[in-house]
Amino acid sequence: MRLLFLGDMVGKTGRTAVWERLPGLVSDLKLDFVVVNGENAAGGFGITEDIFLETISAGADVVTTGNHVWDQKEAVVFCERHDQFLRPANYPAGTPGRGSNLFFARNGARVLVANVMGRVFMHPELDDPFKCAEAILEACPLGEQADAVVFDFHAEATSEKQCFGHFVDGRASLVVGTHTHVPTADHQILNGGTGYISDAGMCGDYDSSLGMDKEEPLNRFISKMPKGRFEAASGPATICGVGVEVSDRTGLAEKIAPLRLGPRLGETIPEFWA
């Protein structure tokens, strides 16, 4: 199975780039399943229902989120209407929406996708992500109820991300770190067969500060005084993500490589899909 994960869409330029390129990627690369993190898609802060629906129409099978999931207040309402929209699963019981769900890929495979948020340097501090993941895997184990398992681990600390990867190694097809918006070079297949990358990067303008227009963040570092609001950068976007070949027999990763498309960082398509 061919699975693609795209990192956090940031603002109009990021989401537009994904909408324009994703249909061709699904067709040309014969992708079976696509996950996109959309938590920064609305001006850099949260996501609206219209943006969610447009992302699904472009070819995403699931849209995950993170700590900005509720920044657009309408998300509290529309999250209940859409099975393909996920918020972090380790929010307290009773929180609107869902944190994991089972989906069908284009090849008919059953894909469990779970969105979990780390706790180190993160706000709000949610329930234990490791216990949460354990419960998700017990309810829908790889090789039994699911043919593939994907975790979006939305976290700040690389150590927490790596430990989470090792925690589910052999029980998940792929663990992708999101949130820090900078693609890491540590894509690998862990000892137990789980594909892993500490951060997929963002889909947005890299002539920026993590997708935000760089002038206000720079001002705050220098002067310690705000002059205005953070605004999403509006230059040409680079799409960043990771591609994985998942074994139809075991549900574990066989190949993993980054995908990058756009004016910065250099264009890269996983060579096993080229």
Q: Determine the pLDDT at residue 212.
A: 97
Question: What is the rounded radius of gyration, in angstroms, for the C-alpha atoms of the chain?
Answer: 17
For residue 184, what are its two tokens? 């890491």
Q: Which residues are catalytic?
A: 68
φ/ψ of residue 28, rounded to 5 = -70, -35
- 123 among the known binding-site residues? no
Q: Determine the pLDDT at residue 274.
A: 76
Res. 237 pLDDT band, cuts 50 70 90: very high
Instruction: Tell me the per-residue pLDDT of 154-165, one tens digit each, with 9 for 90 and over.
Output: 999 999 999 999
Place of tokens 């447009």: 54
Place of tokens 């975790």: 151
3-state secondary structure of 268: strand
| CATH tag for 2-209+237-273 (out of 3.40.190.10, 3.40.50.170, 3.30.70.3340, 3.60.21.10) | 3.60.21.10
Instruction: Tell me the per-residue pLDDT of 128-155, one tens digit each, with 9 for 90 and over.
Output: 999 999 999 999 999 999 999 999 999 9
The model's pTM is 0.98
Judge residue 224's burial from the number of C-beta atoms within 10 Å of its C-beta, 0-12 exposed, 13-18 middle, 19 or more buried. exposed
Average pLDDT over residues 246-261: 98
Q: Residue type for 201, please?
A: G
- 40 among the known binding-site residues? yes
Instruction: Please state the domain extents for the chain.
Output: 2-209+237-273
- 166 among the known binding-site residues? no
Instruction: Tell me the per-residue pLDDT of 60-91, one tens digit each, with 9 for 90 and over.
Output: 999 999 999 999 999 999 999 999 999 999 99
